[in-house]
Amino acid sequence: MTGEKIYLSYTVEPKQTRNVIVQYTTSGEYEGYYYVDNGGRGVVSEGLVVTTDYGGLRLFMSGENGLLKQFSLDGAISGSVLPLI
């Protein structure tokens, strides 16, 4: 939870490279979704952190392959692909 928002990651299908991140308020109201390119063969997403500790609103995702990726949520519009930083 960051800034009164809750973010959940959904892996649509293990072979897909694009995952869905869904945003809710702390009261459970749906606010939108984003896509992140953190999947595909051998790259199952295993967690996410959303923080402002690194300048701006950032989403960090890890995968079973050991890589940690950073995406920008600054100014993100629902339905968009978050840019990799």
Cα–Cα distance between 77 and 83 in angstroms, integer? 12
Domain map (residue ranges) of the chain: 5-72
Cα–Cα distance between 40 and 44 in angstroms, integer? 7
Give the mean pLDDT of 23-44: 86
The pLDDT assigned to 85 comes to 92
The pLDDT assigned to 15 comes to 74
CA torsion 67-34-82-38 (nearest 10°) is 20
The pLDDT assigned to 63 comes to 75
Confidence of residue 37 (pLDDT cuts 50, 70, 90): confident
Q: Is the pLDDT of residue 4 over 80?
A: yes
The pLDDT assigned to 60 comes to 93
The pLDDT assigned to 28 comes to 94
